[in-house]
Structure 1
Amino acid sequence: MKFKKPLSILIVGLIVVACTTNPFTGKQTLALVPNSQILPMAFQQYDQFLSENKVVNGTADANMVKSVGQKIAVAAEKYLTANGYAGYLTDYRWEYNLVASKDVNAWCMPGGKIVIYTGILPITKNEAGLAAVMGHEVAHALANHGQQRMSGTQLQEIGAVGVGIATANSKNAEIFNTAYGLGSNVGIMLPFSRGHETEADHIGLILMAIAGYEPSVAAELWQRMQAQEQGAPPEFLSTHPSSATRIQNIQAWVPEAKAEARKFNVTTFKR
């Protein structure tokens, strides 16, 4: 038990010192692992992934992925510069690749390394639908969600060590450790992840609008996603908000996204 106070001080100290500012929300976020470590690792992992999977090049779909990705990146640069974050993307190395896979998925690594799977294209349907997906994925990278997840996991592991030390001599140690694992996951880590997804939906909507795409298309995309769902877990046990929640949020944010786009003289939006 004598270790509890020093451990608590250590955790609080880490949280206070290792923080950075989210350029889209202005909030302080966890940054225990610096981008100087994260980005080189992400770039290496991305290159390895591409070497081990079938990258589609030269097709209309592959060209569309690159074109939409570039427009989203330009929108991000415009938004960040206008809001006092010129140079924020200096260390980014944008890359957009279409990969042959039946998976209905897409992702963006820290530093702007994007993959779109061919399996998601029937759901996106068109360029604007793809922009909704890419805006969301790029938003994860811009908001440093990968960095925050790594930092959150480290704090969770430190907390587990603390619980282990504090209950080492207790006959109920195993119960306490199990309770901590379940409680920290359901009560902290899963909501943390859902918060990131909601934030990426919001930022992504703004980016696609600035890039000239109709933001309401994002809600239509999630309606199609919802129609594909089978046996989705309850929202509180999921890393993502439910499709119904996302649709409702996006529909409420559309006017804001268009208002942001108008600041950059974007008044017409491609569907």
Structure 2
Amino acid sequence: MVFKKVSLKIAMAAALAVMVGCSSSPTGRKQFAVLPDSQMNEMGVQSFTEMKKEIPASSDAKLREQVQCVADSLIAVLPEKYRNQDWEVVLFNDEQVNAFALPGYKVGIYTGLLTVAENQSQLAAVVGHELAHVIARHGNERVSTQLATSQALALGYQLSGEESPEKIAIFQALGIGAQVGIILPFSRSHESEADLLGLSYMAKAGFDPRESVQLWRNMSAGGESKAPELLSTHPSNSTRIKDLQANLSKNLPIYEDLVAQNKTAKCY
């Protein structure tokens, strides 16, 4: 076979290197995030600007005020570096059941989400989750991982000898393996981490953390996230519910203390 075993080992070692962390997330998880945050912020602002051109904002002033209140309440309990930023929150008039936050301190919420998030605490569970993606630098980590994986495979391909059907087949398999074995699990770990960080944010902001579980029950009833977990960038709804329930005991007392002080969120 033209394909050289030593070159295969080099390619695999380079691909595995993307899993070595060079920084830590807010939960202490090792990360691989190599792009300057300033560059990620520029990309986020540019993407958000394009979205605002393509998707109209909601004209419902009351809904916009409620959504802004939920976001502001959550932002107020973020680490100082983030709560002092000039966040922009837009309620998009779109039926998607979704929300997002981008580097550059941009938050987008679709009106369709409000048909599933039935109260302020359920909306806070989603918005807190999205804010967590920004704070944990998940965008940087995902882009860095994808870049490093593709570069490692490209390097291995160049070092692996002459072109042959065997070589092509092997690198196609490596590409699929990298997607399922590295990139997708990284994305699932980001989603799980954002769920737990968001749970903490919502409790500290005076939203009932138990509603995060009900939110995902609503999502399940609506048929969201039906892809097999192995091939999905998101954990299954049942996994999310289980993980959230397991962490309620850490966050419910924080919320209950605010209830006792009459300091819970009152957005709607």
Bin for the TM-score computed over the shorter chain: 0.7 to 0.9
* 1:11 Cα offset (Å): 7.4
Q: 2:33 aligns with which of 31, 44, 64?
A: 31
Deviations 1:147-179 (A, max 9, x none): 000100111111211231233325411111111
* 1:13 Cα offset (Å): 8.4
Q: 2:195 aligns with which of 189, 197, 201?
A: 201
Distance 1:261 1:11 in 2: 43
Distance 1:56 1:143 in 2: 29
The reply on whether 1:20 has 2:23 as its aligned counterpart is yes
Q: 1:97 aligns with which of 90, 101, 110?
A: 90
Distance 1:231 1:141 in 2: 22
Task: State the match for 2:46 in structure 1.
Answer: 44
The reply on whether 1:185 has 2:179 as its aligned counterpart is yes
**How many residue pairs get matched?**
258
Letter in 2 for 1:266: L
User: 2:88, 2:106 within 8 Å by CA — same for their partners in 1?
Assistant: yes
TM-score by length of 1: 0.85
Letter in 1 for 2:98: N
Letter in 2 for 1:245: T
* Identity across the alignment (%): 33
Distance 1:246 1:129 in 2: 14
Point out 4+ residue stretches in structure 1 off by more than 6 angstroms.
2-16
User: 2:92, 2:109 within 8 Å by CA — same for their partners in 1?
Assistant: yes
Task: State the match for 1:176 in structure 2.
Answer: 170
Quick one: higher RCO (CA 8 Å, sep 6+), 1 or 2?
2
User: 1:163, 1:176 within 8 Å by CA — same for their partners in 2?
Assistant: no
Task: Flag structure 2 segments of 5+ consecutive residues without an equivalent.
Answer: none
Distance 1:195 1:231 in 2: 16
Deviations 1:179-235 (A, max 9, x none): 111100111111110000000000000000000000010000000100111681211
Q: 1:131 aligns with which of 120, 124, 130?
A: 124
Distance 2:92 2:53 in 1: 11
Cα distance change on mapping 1:259 and 1:47 into 2, 3 Å:
same
Distance 1:172 1:62 in 2: 57
* 1:135 Cα offset (Å): 0.5
* 1:58 Cα offset (Å): 5.1
Distance 1:130 1:26 in 2: 26
Letter in 1 for 2:192: T
Distance 1:114 1:20 in 2: 25
User: 1:136, 1:205 within 8 Å by CA — same for their partners in 2?
Assistant: yes
Cα distance change on mapping 1:14 and 1:137 into 2, 3 Å:
closer
Over the aligned positions, Cα root-mean-square deviation in angstroms equals: 2.7
Letter in 2 for 1:141: V
Task: State the match for 1:83 in structure 2.
Answer: none
Cα distance change on mapping 1:209 and 1:126 into 2, 3 Å:
same
Letter in 2 for 1:148: E
* 1:112 Cα offset (Å): 2.2
Task: Flag structure 1 segments of 5+ consecutive residues without an equivalent.
Answer: 81-85
Distance 2:265 2:112 in 1: 23
Distance 1:223 1:157 in 2: 37
* 1:38 Cα offset (Å): 1.1
